[in-house]
Amino acid sequence: LSLALSGTVLSRCPSCARNFANLYCHTTCSPDQSLFTNVSRVLNRTTALGIQQLAVLEYQAYYGQDLAD
């Protein structure tokens, strides 16, 4: 996901763009992801170097009211 693309889509509402970027960064970079994220769909893939990996295709995120506010 590109934050530049979301910024373009949400450019008419700077607060919305900032809130989305904050939520995206929190979701992808938090060291506490296991406390609010449930991986619900994965894909087995092979890298260009032949290494087997799991790729996350879908996840559920659970946020408290404080974060929503």
- Check residue 23 and give its pLDDT: 85
How far is Cα 7 from Cα 39, in angstroms, rounded to an integer? Answer: 26
Range of the domain at 53: 3-67
What percentage of the chain has pLDDT greater than the value 70? Answer: 97
- Report pTM: 0.61
**Tokens read off for 6:** 């979301």
Rg of the chain over all Cα atoms, to the nearest angstrom: 15
Q: Tell me: pLDDT of 1 over 60.
A: no
- Total domains in the chain come to 1
The half-sphere exposure of 69 on its side-chain side, counting CA atoms within 13 A, is 3
**Interval 45-67: pLDDT, tens:** 999 999 999 999 999 989 888 87
